[in-house]
Every structure is written in C-alpha cells, then in structure tokens.
C-alpha cells in the first residue's frame, strides 16, 4: 500500500475532512489531495504534522505493512460519527504507544484471561454468573472486588485501561496487535466506571463467543448487553457477602433503609441503582418493584450529601512506569517521552536525571 492510500485511510480513521486538516495544520486542500492521490510526495515536515494529527507514527506511512481495521465495541456510542472516530483514533494511539513501551522495555507478556467455551446461542444468565464467579476466584478479588479489579487487570493480566473524557461510556477491544484494552470515561463517577470496567471485561472474556464474524464495530445485541450487566453485577456484588451486609442492616421492622443500602453500595464501589438491581436476583423481587424503589430512592437521596467521586489519571500507572524505564534506559528520546506522557518538554526533563546511587549494591535488597 502506497503512502497516498495510507494518508487517506489515516485521515478517514480520525473522521477529519480535508478542510479540518487545513484548519489544524495549514496544509491546503490541493496539497493534501495531491499527497493522497500520489501526485506529489509530502515533505517530511508536512508528513510529520499529518502523522501527529492523525495520531499515527511517521513509520506507519513509510512501511509496507498491511493495514488492518480492528473492531471496537462501544457502550453508548455518540451519534456524531466524527466524534466517535476521533475518540477511537486517540484510544488506538494510546494502545499502540503502550505496546511500543512494552516492546522497548522487554515487557511484552501475553497473559491468558479466564475463558468459557460455549456457543453464543447457548449463553444464559447462569453462564454469565458462572463466568463472574470464575473471574472472582481466579483473580482473588476478595470481599470488595471493585477495590482491586482494575489493578489486577492492569498489573497481572496487562489489560490496557485508559481514562479519557469523551462522549460515551466505555469502549472495549481485543486486538491481535496489542491485546485486550478498555477505555473508560474519565468524567463518569467512580462507581459508574467500576461497573463499566466489569461490563467491558465481560465483552473481552466472551469476544471469541459473540464476535466470531469480523464485522467492524458491530454493536452488541441487547441480550449480550444484559449478560454483560448481569456479569458485572455478580462480579462486583458477590452473593454471600452482599447478603450478609444486607441482613446485618435489617432493622426491627424487617426492612432495610435506603440510607443503609446506600452505605452498602458505597462500600462495594457501585451505584445504589446497581445494588438495587442486584436485589432482584438475590431476593427474587419483580423488576417493576425494583424500578419503583429506584425512583423512590432517587427522591430521598437527592436530599442527602452527594457521594464523592475521584479524578482518575488518564494514563495507566504501568504505562507511565514503562515510559520512564524506556527513557532512562536510553530507548525513548526525551521529546518522544514528553509526547507519550502528554506532558511538556520542560517537565519531561525532570525524569532524565540519572541517579547512580540506585544502582549501588549497598541499597539493593538481597533475597539470597
């Protein structure tokens, strides 16, 4: 594939028109068109500018490697296709950079996630529950799964998890190039992100079941979404532990107040709504009744102090650690490091100072 085709594909992948490219780079429509149709070869500086806004490395345009389009699964895809494409391009860039860092530091490890083998049409809520139990057990998530799920996925299973501001809830993908990856919405509340993470994890674990046909960006069917919700609910709210908490909170009138339920929801890092839907399964409550409870709870909870969320970092801790390691080992240039870390060049320089003492035997810990 020639450079012109690559430029066109890269531009379309970001959802940019030629006018938009002109706005961002100052490269005129006629020049861009000439580049895309191979009438003229771009100058190096033009290609560098285009690579930057298309979120691709310059090497991408100079190699003969075939281009593959990978499927991304959206939760609440925005109506504006351009915005969706821009988000996907940024997510892809971060995942590619992450994989590059793994390669630079020799830390590419394919870790197998728990798996269930069954055909899509045979999948049931029971299977979703079974898968959640399997994950909980294999991950060793303990009593409060939301507290350690993200860390476990990132550090042990090397799932690439980013938090960005974008219109939509979450995206998951299972790439043959860089493995499993999840994008969460930075602006969502902590409990919502916890649920989205578990929900997207379901899609990754069942990718081989529901995504047999390689149709790009196929939306999950409603049934699959419900299985994903059931999985997330079961994973974050383990049956026996949640039941114990609820029974402990029952008052003398054999009822549990919304405030008490809210406390439990906080403890498990989920929303009150998510906990109440879990009651549907735990106590066989009809869905209509749960809906009424949720509406009623909303009125009461609006008058109570709001729960505090957090402000998550956009880049994963492991990603940053690998970037610093690559910089210090002389594998990543300073300017590139700044771009990877999305920090200024000035700030990046602080990471380059070398401290010989860290290599000193005297402060190494002997385990012999």
Partner 1 sequence: MKKFRFLLLDAGPIIKLFELGIWEKFIERCDVTISSTVAVEAKWASQEYKDVKINLDTYKEKIKIIETELSLASTFYTKLPNTYKDDVEVQDGEVQTLAFLCDSSLDWRLCSADHVVFRILGLLGKGEQGRSLEEMLKEVGLQTRIRWDKITPRDEDWKYTKKFREKWTFEGQKDFIQGQGAL
Interface residues toward partner 1, by CB under 8 A = 3, 41-45, 47-49, 51-52, 58-59, 62, 100, 103-104, 326, 330-336, 338-339, 344-347, 349-350, 352-356
Tokens of 355: 């401290």
Cβ proximity to partner 1: between 250 and 352 the closer is: 352
Cβ proximity to partner 1: between 25 and 175 the closer is: 25
**How many CB atoms sit inside 10 A of residue 309's CB?**
13
Cβ proximity to partner 1: between 221 and 352 the closer is: 352
CB of 318 to partner 1, least distance (A): 17
Residues 6+ apart with CB under 8 A from 104: 322, 326, 329, 331, 332
Cα 88 to its chain centre, rounded Å, is 11
Cβ proximity to partner 1: between 356 and 361 the closer is: 356
Cβ proximity to partner 1: between 358 and 366 the closer is: 358
Residues 264, 275 contacting (CB under 8 angstroms): yes
Cβ proximity to partner 1: between 124 and 349 the closer is: 349
Residues 267, 142 contacting (CB under 8 angstroms): no
CA distance 157 to 10: 30
CA distance 262 to 275: 8
CB of 205 to partner 1, least distance (A): 30
Cβ proximity to partner 1: between 231 and 337 the closer is: 337
**How many CB atoms sit inside 10 A of residue 350's CB?**
8
CA distance 250 to 96: 50
CB of 160 to partner 1, least distance (A): 17
CB of 105 to partner 1, least distance (A): 10
Q: Dihedral of the CA atoms 18, 340, 79, 161 (nearest 10)?
A: 160
Picking from 202, 247, 207, the residue whose alpha carbon sits closest to that of residue 228 is 202
CB of 47 to partner 1, least distance (A): 6
Cβ proximity to partner 1: between 218 and 352 the closer is: 352
Picking from 262, 249, 97, 279, the residue whose alpha carbon sits closest to that of residue 177 is 97
CB of 226 to partner 1, least distance (A): 43
**How many CB atoms sit inside 10 A of residue 244's CB?**
12
Q: What are phi and psi of 181, to 5 degrees?
A: -150, 145
CB of 227 to partner 1, least distance (A): 39
CB of 26 to partner 1, least distance (A): 11
Residues 167, 81 contacting (CB under 8 angstroms): no
Determine the straight-line distance between the first and last CA of the chain, rounded to whole angstroms: 55
């Amino acid at each position: 594939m020639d450079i012109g085709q690559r430029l066109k594909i890269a531009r379309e992948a970001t959802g940019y028109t030629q006018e938009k490219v002109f706005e961002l780079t100052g490269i005129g429509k006629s020049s861009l068109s000439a580049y895309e149709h191979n009438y003229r070869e771009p100058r190096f500086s033009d290609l560098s500018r285009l690579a930057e806004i298309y979120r691709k490395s310059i090497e991408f345009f100079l190699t003969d490697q075939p281009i593959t389009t990978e499927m991304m699964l959206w939760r609440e895809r925005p109506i504006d296709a351009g915005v969706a494409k821009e988000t996907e391009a940024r997510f892809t860039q971060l995942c590619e950079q992450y994989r590059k860092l793994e390669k630079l530091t020799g830390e590419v490890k394919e870790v197998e996630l728990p798996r269930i083998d069954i055909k899509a049409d045979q999948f049931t809520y029971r299977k979703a529950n079974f898968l959640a139990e399997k994950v909980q057990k294999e991950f060793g998530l303990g009593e409060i799964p939301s507290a350690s799920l993200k860390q476990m996925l990132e550090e042990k299973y090397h799932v690439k998890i980013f938090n960005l501001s974008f219109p939509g809830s979450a995206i998951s993908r299972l790439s043959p190039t860089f493995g499993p990856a999840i994008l969460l919405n930075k602006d969502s509340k902590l409990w919502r992100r916890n649920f989205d993470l578990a929900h997207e994890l379901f899609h990754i674990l069942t990718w081989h079941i529901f995504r047999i046909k390689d149709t790009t960006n196929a939306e999950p069917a409603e049934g699959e979404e419900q299985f994903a919700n059931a999985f997330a609910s079961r994973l974050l709210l383990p049956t026996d532990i949640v039941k114990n908490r609820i029974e402990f909170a029952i008052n003398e009138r054999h009822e549990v107040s919304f405030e008490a339920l809210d406390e439990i929801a906080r403890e498990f890092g989920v929303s009150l709504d998510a906990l109440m839907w879990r009651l549907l399964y735990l106590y066989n409550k009809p869905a209509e009744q749960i809906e009424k409870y949720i509406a009623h709870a909303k009125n009461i909870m609006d008058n109570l102090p709001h729960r505090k969320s957090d402000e998550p970092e956009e880049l994963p801790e492991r990603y940053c650690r690998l970037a610093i390691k690559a910089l210090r080992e002389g594998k990543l240039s300073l300017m590139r490091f700044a771009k990877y870390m999305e920090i200024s060049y000035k700030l990046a320089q602080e990471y380059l100072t070398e401290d010989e003492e860290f290599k000193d035997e005297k402060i190494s810990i002997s385990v012999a």
